[in-house]
Structure 1
């Protein structure tokens, strides 16, 4: 198997929300805390850095001219040509104490996006379903909502509260991405090293989850069994997405948020963005549908 590649880009204080564009071979991701958007050729070469006027947590495909950024007070359309930002719809815009966090597009074209307290205050997090500009609150009382992803047929959704340590699954209407049942525990990670962070599903329905603080990615079966653990050269991986011509690599962001000087010294690649060969084929993230 090929070796892990480290993209030619600055370290991220809190790297998140990666997105891959197969038309251009470009990887996109954000540094939430430093308000930066990165654009880097997956095949090699230096990244371009775009300063943002607000904290953004996820990059979502829309069309050939625009993508969507999940930000502290709403979802914003960003044009590639001039970098212009237009708020598409608000998201907890009235709550200055929260920000957006993890997100993923359902096969229907609807977006699941989470929010959390600025200082990860217990219970302030929530997960929303966004269809066009219609925003529906799905789950509340969470602390750090993460691991949002969907089965290939769109009939099952997954998510986690990193603070609670359990990967959840919930039955969905595949036409809309809305829940049709109550969440149940898919995998109980309580007591394990690190915390469940961002996740993505491959073509066979396996869930690949970054484990914050444990320097690894875990693969879980659709039946809830942990199948495989891949070590990473960063201690705080945050979110993966499938990338590359064969969609057989994972683009993985990481962070150095909260690390001491000694911890950074022990983790020389902290905050780097990785391209990780996984030997399985993934799925291209669906584009967000601007109209429901």
Structure 2
């Protein structure tokens, strides 16, 4: 396992840290504590971190424009006013099913937003992956237990995702103009060994950076599924990476203390914290969400 220069971006311990993203226009990184209904906002140049109480579980966001974000929450999609934090419901999603919540999600280069849902107790095949495409929600892949690793090639022609319960990373051909599938998913990586495949992001070279929950690391795969690197994360339950910073050269990694007893927490002293890793690679700026055609 490779050790790189690493620092703590924020020391608060997340129950379930997830959904990191970065806005290079404002130099602000965002991430969530799903279980506690919190949104974190970190200005990297100053190190200042703000904590927003959402009042509901939420797991991801996409930038709409300078004034608005789209928040993926347990019962639907909400437009958030960046200035005052006000939330307004945009579309309901599985609001009639109290057993599910949102999970891993990411914006496709076309502006289509892929959104994962799952059972609150990770019930088998209770979740799905959807696409918010031009103002309408389309179900792409049903019967998912724990959707994760949603990310895309730079040209938008390839999508990736995993069901963490299966430990399989899938590859699917997409229409680059719409972000919608053109083919049936195929297996790219079948993980065996310690930990579970969790959140992922694609760098500027097309490599897939995948957090491995329970193993305290981020693995790097080629677009062909070849394992290239394994980078250590200080917390065992690493959950999701995102490239951040003015040149997108640092890797923000969230983590969690979910399901850890006191002995496990003591053995993992950095549990739940949010980290910055100097990984010697560069990412790509995340696209904005398109709400209409």
Instruction: Sort the TM-score into its range (normalised by shorter chain).
Output: over 0.9
The answer on whether the counterparts of 1:59 and 1:68 sit within 8 Å (CA) in structure 2 is yes
SS at match of 1:263: helix
Structure 2 residue 172 is matched with structure 1 residue 170: yes
| 1:223-262 pair list within 5 angstroms | 223-262=224-263
Say whether 1:180 aligns with 2:185.
no
CA shift for structure 1 position 132: 3.0
Residues of 2 paired with 1:46 and 1:61: CA distance? Answer: 20
Residue number in structure 1 paired with 2:60: 58
Per the alignment, residue 214 of structure 1 pairs with 215
Are the counterparts in 1 of residues 4 and 232 from structure 2 also a CA contact under 8 Å? no
CA contact (8 A) 1:37 1:52 kept: yes
- The number of equivalent residue pairs is 291
Q: Match for 1:17 among 15, 19, 26?
A: 19
Distance 1:4 1:228 in 2: 16
Structure 1 residues without counterparts, runs of 5 or longer? none
The alpha-carbon deviation at position 160 of structure 1 amounts to 0.3
Q: 1:31 aligns with which of 33, 43, 57?
A: 33
Equivalent residue number for residue 97 of structure 1: 99
Superposed CA deviations along residues 199-222 of structure 1, whole A, max 9, x for unmatched, are: 000111100000000000000001
Give the TM-score normalised by structure 2: 0.97
CA distance in 2, matches of 1:275, 1:34: 22
Moved more, 241-250 or 155-164: 241-250
Q: What stretches of structure 2 of length at least 5 have no aligned partner?
A: none
1:81 is aligned to 83
| Separation in structure 2 between the aligned mates of residue 2 and residue 276 of structure 1, nearest angstrom | 7
Q: Deviating runs (4+, > 6 A) in structure 1? A: none
C-alpha RMSD over aligned residues: 1.2
Q: TM-score, normalised by structure 1?
A: 0.97
Name the structure 2 match of 1:125. Answer: 127
Query: What is the distance in 1 between the residues matched to 2:263 and 2:44?
Result: 31
